[in-house]
A and B are shown apart, each in its own frame.
Chain A
């Protein structure tokens, strides 16, 4: 079945530093979604990427879909304590999505 890998598993940064998480698939994807889960909370949709090489920005967050549509990245510029949480990518699999294991981000003030 579809498998999605994410690295790193954990990332600790000082507030103001940048952060990047990477998502990789062994197969070509039609699209990819990103979710954020705050500690003790539930996953919340961030964005969906569809086109090869697509880059989308949401304030300090930059999302990229690889040219081969097998990988994606989420980059946060100048992290803030509000960015704390786990970031998941999700790849389509039939009528559902398969979630990566997530990258847990902690931000030290």
Chain B
């Protein structure tokens, strides 16, 4: 099993550009989440999904969109990138709401 995979690993964007961060898992987990990690602030939840076709907002959803058309994939879309979105983004999946979370390797995003 590959676990949770994320692409790209690194990305540089200009302010106003849009892009999609890809996340896929092969563990047949129902729950998937997107976090951003900024220095000294731990991991903050952006959006999450409890199954295909179901998504909801986390703590910091503004400026991001998600969709969950399949169990395996959970892409994160930046609509119009801003310097404040410079961060490391982690995708995670888990089997149930209180289960272990498995994190992807992360995407490092720099918005100029």
Contact = CB atoms under 8 A, between A and B. Distances in A.
A31 B98 contact: yes
A5 B102 CA distance: 22
Contact of A45 (B31, B59, B102, B105): B102
A43 B41 contact: no
Per DSSP, are chain A's interface residues mostly helix, strand or loop, or mixed?
A: strand
A48 B35 CA distance: 20
Interface residues of B, number: 24
Interface in A47-82: 48
A95 B95 CA distance: 12
Contacts of A43: 43, 90, 92, 101, 103
Given A42-B106, A95-B48, A96-B33, A101 B42 contact: yes
A96 B103 contact: no
Interface of A: 1, 9, 30-31, 33, 35, 41-45, 48, 88, 90, 92, 94-102
16 contacts: A1-B59, A31-B98, A42-B90, A42-B105, A42-B106, A43-B43, A43-B101, A45-B100, A45-B101, A88-B42, A94-B97, A95-B31, A95-B48, A96-B45, A99-B44, A100-B42
Interface of B: 31, 33, 35, 40-45, 48, 50, 58-59, 90, 92, 97-98, 100-106
